[in-house]
Amino acid sequence: MLIVLSGPSGVGKGTVRQAMMADSFKDFKYSVSMTTRTPRPGEKDGVDYYFRTKEQFQQHIADGEMLEWARYVNNFYGTPLGPVNKTLDEGQDVLLEIEVNGAMQVREKCPDGVFIFLTPPDLQELKQRIEKRGTDDAATILKRMEKARNEIKMMENYDYAVVNDKVDLAVKRIESIITSEHNRVPRVIDRYRKMIGVK
């Protein structure tokens, strides 16, 4: 099962994903993204990102090897299709933590995925989280907030909305969604058809 976690910038997608990875539930594999940006200190190829040149990345796009991709601040970011398909073929869930536009690309290619939109408790809380980062000036924060409003409008394209009021509670909500999705009849019916000899 493909699980897509996304939401507006500053909502805490990375923090929630890291908490999910540390949780004992962890019945999935995190999909490592690909980027053309240079590695930061301590980052390892194939662990934090697949680091590629712009030429290599563009060749992957041309060859249809990217599940989704985007260009951001003169660098490419995206999800390579090969590792995702390999993990799914091995019978393991795959978790993607991606931006809203990337999620819409995945939605087109994998409509049977589970799409989860992480939301802030309210816009004021989102603004405070962005301000706490201390990386943006006032004008940039205003732009981020406007973008967040537009991204929240896209929630209607998702299957679930999960409020990230407290990280541990958000993780529990997401884990309950994953458990429920595994028990949906369309996902299990083939197993039972085989059991009773029906094609």
Write the pLDDT tens digit of every residue in 29-83: 999 999 999 888 888 999 888 999 999 999 999 999 999 998 877 899 999 999 9
What mean pLDDT do residues 169-197 have? 94
Nearest-angstrom CA–CA distance, 77 and 98:
10
Strand ranges for the chain from DSSP E: 2-6, 29-30, 34-35, 50-51, 66-72, 75-80, 94-97, 114-119, 160-163
Quick one: residue 42, left, alpha or beta (phi over 0 = left, psi -120 to 50 = alpha)?
left
Q: What is the DSSP string of 38-88?
A: PPPTT--BTTTBEE--HHHHHHHHHTT-EEEEEEETTEEEEEEHHHHHHHH
Q: Give the pLDDT of residue 36.
A: 95
Mean pLDDT (whole number) for 172-192 = 94
Average pLDDT over residues 9-31: 86
CATH class of 1-28+93-199: alpha beta
User: Which option is the CATH number for 32-92: 3.90.480.10, 3.90.1530.10, 3.30.63.10, 3.40.228.10?
Assistant: 3.30.63.10
Binding residues for ATP, by number, are 7-14
Range name among 15-29, 48-62, 110-124, 180-194 with the lowest pLDDT average:
15-29
What pTM value is reported for the model?
A: 0.87
Q: Which residues are annotated as a binding site?
A: 7-14
Q: What pLDDT does residue 25 have?
A: 72
Q: Where are the domains of the chain?
A: 1-28+93-199, 32-92
| Residue pLDDT, tens place only, 117-144 | 999 999 898 888 888 877 778 888 888 8
CA 128 to chain centre: 23
